[in-house]
Structure 1
């Protein structure tokens, strides 16, 4: 680890962490008054000209900017060759540069070693006609060897100088020259860093600084420039390409991959860093090396001193503290501490503990899998050091649901078919239980027992249990439809729900344990499920569950049941979806007679009210339970128009049934709506 840090082997991950610090900090508003005049795609379109633009245009731009008396003007465009449009084109630009008096032109000296020839230098400075006596400074970006990202800015570069003994001379960088001109013109800012190169404190992605398209400063086709006079007063103005097609874009902390930052905006970030005095200071490599060594020792100590799980938590806490410490140093003091080396050292130190813990846990899971279901097993392993799954008394809501008449149904079918049906049905029901945060306690044949508020607290346990029951009813109809098409059988289910205290935890023998609940609360839940058919409803809940429900459910009191061993009877309620409440009802002046067809039978029933959503009817056969599809007809007496509708039995109580309409006839729909609107309540 020490060697890796000292040799720079971890530079890539260190730079990655620095970029993450920038991302977490986010975009900050620049303080330096920098404005960028962008050579961009809109300018190519508006000016109807591709690159390069005539240099006389640049001269016109500079004159317009200079008229506003900016602090300094930097041109991030190279003019190493005479203009293809002739010397007059160069002279127009040169005259504008000279007249402004505060322009810095860019250069890009390149050095190339050729065997047998030596070092060849390409000066890449503006031609004499353009530069005149203006300041010329190198604009090169410094690319890191690891990933070619631009993170640092040199404050000076060595350029060829025949008069020097070394053949080179030290020249201040482009941004330094611009900053000095701005300070000389009155900009109040921090002094330049006393370093050779610095880490740039990037403000954000592109366009963090104001952009003005090049064409907006040009007079064209009789149109005046779009930028108001005085806009550039007291500003540092940079002119440079931002279009990707000019290939002057680079990866930076905020912009990587295909979306990179224009070089001219990197210069803007450098200038703002100078102005704030907030260049990012790097902690010594030797300090980072010592940090990595110390972290590795801490990791090793955790392996020796602590349990594997606690070692992981402690190591993660140490890593978190180191990361926060490093980030706060970056955020408030502009200091970059190479923390990834310490992180790698720390995790290598306790890596053996993590591996050992994993192997031991897998061995323990294999041993315990014969006792627990997968759901409970995960919690047993997770809480194996405490007694959170031990038997305790707690408030729970229990749900029982089974298929009505399944024993008779199974006698008609082959065992393999029954097994496949059960697998499909129980899988659907289990998914619903899990979706509402319940725990499947057990399957008893076709019966599902589910618990809520166990093993972990859930304030809405009663509500979620009832939602589960309603979804059970809906999903059972879907399953029944599939089975009717495949096997010619239909199914209905009943759901019983109760809330109360029970003993919950791992129970059983020394040979086999399971996570379950026992007590009168559980027994009453099972009893409620068993009487759903008797009351002709799909779901029955106890008064204890009913007290905990919210307004999203519509309930109907069904009566009372006597619980074995209890002196007081318990009130019970049927549950309907709250969506039925959105239909106002209208009472009829007299009972109306209906013809209803359902389940292969036809009956004459009566009703005393109606809504757009359905009606309550009396006199339907006892065999028509919730879910039975029906057709309703009333030729006259009920409405001005004949009533025709299809629907489904939503609830039953003795001979009374609730029909939920699935479709009203074309003439009946407006007639019902009008009737309810004038007489509804």
Structure 2
């Protein structure tokens, strides 16, 4: 009897493994991997936040570790405040503290002395800083400054500016890009008398992430024409005796060098903090004990000392993953310790490749197991086991190697694959399809109000002409938003938006005609008569905007993108009634009035407005709201121009803007384009975000170069529908 070669037996087993449903399981798993890989590239905010929380959990589980003995904190703590007095102390007392820091190799001061006191006190502090010779003074950058920084402030911090910058790639290409790190327009430094004696300077700016936790520390900042180090980096430079060297590439900051140390930072120059533990992990001495000579003679000798306020009533809390009451000065200490010990949390290109391999490998392993053993408990055990192995291995790399893999995306790919394969196996897709088909076939539009429900005879084809007010609203940039969100999240977002907007329309007794994707069409004065239909439509439009603000705040907390809407309102005659086929029809409206409302909604993008109403609607409600006329437009396909009015929020700023705009618009329509341009420019000084004024400035410039015909009448011809 003939036996087959082992290789052929193996091939047959592989073929059986990937045939039929087993192959489909693998294809489903790979599809989930591809989707997850796309998310990995795009990195949605909510997944990024989950990843951060996962790393936070690993930090907590890892526990504290010994802080480097070279780094010491001198704290202006509760004990110091109780003995010396409430902070801030007098300059004479602070001078005594500074003098006591002389044994340290370097002392970084996480405090800024930006205001003068009396001259003798300032002189005493300045003398102590100069005589110590080891003081790195702190300062901070800001973007809320309305005036340029004094030259003496710039001269002061320039002494510690990063002087060595290497450009990787084309220097011209790099300079054509914005600075990849944090850039500021203002700075608050120490008074000149104090700054002259400083051995160095560094910024103590700190920037939390979106959830309020401090996980990173920027080491360099851009201000004016220079690049400046953080307080910790400047102190380290003095401590190690090496200059800071910054490497910049077209994609961002490639690295920060200090002697033989290559500091691991991201493209913005931020170091991921590798905490040693909660607040108090570093060797910390009370400032009053140091000043009073109560410490051992060598307590701070040859150390890198960081001085900051930790007294609970006044110190700046910097919540971190390991401590919600983490003193700000320990952020600088953590940076110093990480650099001195080369103790970084690494996520470089090798770790990225590792993440991607797991995104594709784990789902395939799971799919093979599900295909070979199609039992729910087996597949559940398999996904649980793979997930546990993933978490355990990632934690091993994190805790013992300082490698920071991204556990979220391999885990997400694994879960998606499990759900997809299980759904297919249980014919979930077919069940859902039957359910959706039944739901749509039995659908009766909620647009039909009580009058129609009470009188079934109205449920027939046909219609009537009546004056109605039509409202169209649409989400701005919905296509872009839809590309950024997974389908299920997109549907959740859309439903969360449409539900309250629909309630607003129906609350004003409007008829929700239909949803057109992300757009809403509503009709007022049909099928029931509403004498104040135009007023109700405007009230509904104005109510949508603050409700959207509330939704955006909720979505931001969940990691969803914020959305903006535009609303168009028009009043006129339309044909309304039940339209459709014998098996399915809806109560709707058609005609030019409807079409114009839709066009008005789209014109918001041109004018930078939120709500535009036609002149027909305006005439009915002009005394009830704040309006401004924004244009007279010959809409494409229409011979007669239509007046456009912006429905504005209530309040004096809106009235002021409307009045100023009316004056400038009058000059524009008289053909006085230079004067009109000046008027619109004046408006922008008071209202810099007014898109309509910006548009008219561009038109004035165009007409100054190429004047319109004498009989133009101020009419703008819309180029699109």
Q: What is the TM-score when the length of structure 2 is the normalising length?
A: 0.43
Kindly indicate which of the two structures has a greater share of residues assigned to strand: 1
Structure ID, larger Rg: 1
- Structure with more relative contact order (C-alpha pairs < 8 Å, separation 6 or more): 2
Q: What is the TM-score when the length of structure 1 is the normalising length?
A: 0.46
Kindly indicate which of the two structures has a greater share of residues assigned to helix: 2
